[in-house]
Amino acid sequence: MTRRAWAPRYVTAIALTDVAVIAVAVVVAQALRFGSDLESNDFGGVHGEPLLVMTVLIAAWLFSLRVYQTLDRRILGDGPEEYSRVATACLSVFGVLAILVLVLQLDVSRGYFALALPLGTVGLLVSRWAWRRQLSRQRSRGIGLERLLVVGEPQSVATVTDRLSQAPEQPFTVVGACIPIDTTARSAGRRSVGDAHVPVYGGLDDVATAAGRCDATTVAVTSPDALGHRAMQDLSWNLHQMDIDLLVAPGVADVAGPRMMVHPVAGLPLLHIDRPSYAGANRFRKGFLDRVGAAALMLALSPLLVGIALAIVVDTRGPVFHRSVRQGVNNRPFRMWKFRSMVPDAEALVADLADRDEGNGPLFKIRDDPRVTPVGRVIRRYSLDELPQLFNVLAGSMSLVGPRPPLPAEVATYDGRVARRMLVKPGMTGLWQVSGRSNLSWEESVRLDVSYVENWSIMQDLVILWRTFRAVVAKDGAY
């Protein structure tokens, strides 16, 4: 219990915060709609005690959060999945209440619920974000991490350990590995696996013993076929008695949970992976978010857009906007709008600067590009040169969130895997932009874009938009 002492405390803290946030939302909604008089016998048309109505609402709201398992330790700190469950629970409880009001023909104040729902939902999401940030800070100091023992073939173990070592925000610290015994027979206990140099604690028959030796809280099997069905069953029983979690890698990478479902067939737990969905209701929801969001941003940022345009006119001669041809969804070309941040003949100077290229893969990048104008240097630092892409979003050629819009010459080099980026609209921002931007390798940039295409969701888009704001303010990876 001491190895995972952080979990109960963290869950309890979130549970108490949920109660406090919901209670405050209900009370504030009452005060805003009806005033602070709780002695009145008329509560929005419901004859009875206001305190009773408020208590029932709070209890129903908390019950909905538990029904959707928003306190599941496995998803706490997970980001989109946790936020999605909280938002779904909030919408569900008010959906059920709306049905009850309609069926029972209750005369209830709609204004009261219209205030309580957004107040409570936003409050819960903000509180979960704050706790997630706290957990991330603790994990960066080595607190609140699951101690992970990785089991499987050396290559698959190395892949998992190296990937985890490159993602500091993930909840695991790899403390050991078990690989086939013939690779460790001569130097058991002294070998290491992967670039992270994870120590090997034994072979595939020593997993339970090794988990105890390295004080693991979780065991991840990366090569279940190497162990066999009977050994996997025995291992799950042994680890259950030791209060150790068991994870099994499905053999596919960058596929999110909503697309995966365990489908038992003849006693075999087969993993069903749904095809990515880019049409129907999903496309409508994403298009609605794009158009409404772009219109709202343009209205709010209109003074800034005009100010940047005037600064460019005063700074250097030439057009205010730069329009370059990019490839969009299904390889359809379009012209992407940007504020001009370079001298007018910048593209003609590329050949003279080829020896200074610092880009990744086919991208041309120079950290101190001499073609950039003084105003351009400022707007590029804060990514303000990309704001005119809101015109593209309104026109339907781009999305607020998506893969990076590629050049035609770049698309010509794509293989079958990379070409999947073209199944959705390119975005003003995306996983690539908020995970390091110009500091990432070409391979990592492609992996993040393909991962987004395979698993995109509205909640993930909202999280990426928030992370984009933070990355732009921090000027992370922009040059």
Q: pLDDT tens, 242-254?
A: 888 998 887 665 5
Separation of alpha carbons 310 and 237, rounded Å:
69
| Mean pLDDT (whole number) for 264-274 | 66
pLDDT surpassing 80 at residue 124: yes
Question: Does residue 331 sit in the same domain as residue 457?
Answer: yes
Separation of alpha carbons 378 and 390, rounded Å:
20
Do the domain assignments include residue 346? yes
Mean pLDDT for the chain overall: 81
Instruction: Give the three-class secondary structure for 336.
Output: strand
What burial letters (b/e) apply to 247-276, b meaning 16+ CB within 10 Å?
A: bbbeeeeebbeebeeeeeeeeeeeeeeeeb
| Mean pLDDT (whole number) for 384-413 | 90
Do the domain assignments include residue 261? no
Helix%, strand%, coil% for the chain, nearest 5? 55, 15, 30
pLDDT at position 351 is 62
Do the domain assignments include residue 267? no
pLDDT at position 190 is 47
pLDDT band at 355 (very low <50, low <70, confident <90, very high): low
Q: What share of the chain has pLDDT > 90, as a percent?
A: 27
Question: Does residue 387 sit in the same domain as residue 464?
Answer: yes
Question: Does residue 213 sit in the same domain as residue 303?
Answer: no
Question: Does residue 244 sit in the same domain as residue 291?
Answer: no
Question: Does residue 163 sit in the same domain as residue 132?
Answer: no
Question: Does residue 349 sit in the same domain as residue 243?
Answer: no
pLDDT surpassing 90 at residue 441: no
| Mean pLDDT (whole number) for 328-332 | 87
Q: What DSSP assignment string belongs to 191-260?
A: -EETTTTEEEEE-GGGHHHHHHHTT-SEEEES-HHHH-HHHHHHHHHHHHHTT-EEEE--S--S--GGGE
Do the domain assignments include residue 88? yes
Nearest to 220, CA basis, from 265, 263, 177, 187: 177
Q: Which of 35-39, 48-52, 80-84, 225-229 has the weakest average pLDDT?
A: 35-39
Question: Does residue 295 sit in the same domain as residue 371?
Answer: yes
Question: Does residue 447 sit in the same domain as residue 306?
Answer: yes
- Among 86, 108, 140, the domain-final residue is 140
- Among 140, 157, 172, the domain-final residue is 140
Q: Which long-range contacts (CB under 8 A, 24 or more apart) does 284-287 make?
A: 285/458, 286/399, 286/456, 286/458, 286/461, 287/396
- Beta bridge mates, 122: none
pLDDT band at 413 (very low <50, low <70, confident <90, very high): confident
Separation of alpha carbons 472 and 468, rounded Å:
6
* Tokens read off for 319: 């057009």
Question: Does residue 155 sit in the same domain as residue 99?
Answer: no
Q: Which of 47-61, 73-87, 204-218, 347-361 has the highest mean predicted lDDT (pLDDT)?
A: 204-218
pLDDT at position 43 is 47
Regarding beta strands 321-327 and 268-273, do their DSSP bridges make them parallel or antiparallel, or are they unpaired?
unpaired
Give the model confidence (pLDDT) of 171-216 as tens digits: 888 999 998 876 444 444 447 776 667 888 888 888 999 999 998 9
| Mean pLDDT (whole number) for 292-301 | 94
Question: Does residue 372 sit in the same domain as residue 435?
Answer: yes
Do the domain assignments include residue 194? yes
Q: Which of 43-47, 343-347, 385-389, 421-425 has the weakest average pLDDT?
A: 43-47
Q: Which of 2-6, 138-142, 332-336 has the highest mean predicted lDDT (pLDDT)?
A: 332-336
Question: Does residue 213 sit in the same domain as residue 106?
Answer: no
pLDDT surpassing 70 at residue 42: no
- Among 205, 230, 249, the domain-final residue is 249
Do the domain assignments include residue 254? no
Do the domain assignments include residue 360? yes
Question: Does residue 365 sit in the same domain as residue 443?
Answer: yes
Separation of alpha carbons 139 and 133, rounded Å:
10
Number of domains in the chain: 3
- Beta bridge mates, 322: 338
φ/ψ (deg, to 5) at 446: -65, -45
- Beta bridge mates, 177: 150, 200
The residues, any chain, with a CB within 8 Å of residue 100's CB and separated by 6 or more, are: 106
Nearest to 361, CA basis, from 262, 447, 443: 443
pLDDT surpassing 60 at residue 287: yes
Separation of alpha carbons 249 and 238, rounded Å:
19
Structural domain containing residue 207 = 146-249
More confident residue, 454 or 217: 217
Do the domain assignments include residue 173? yes
pLDDT at position 2 is 45
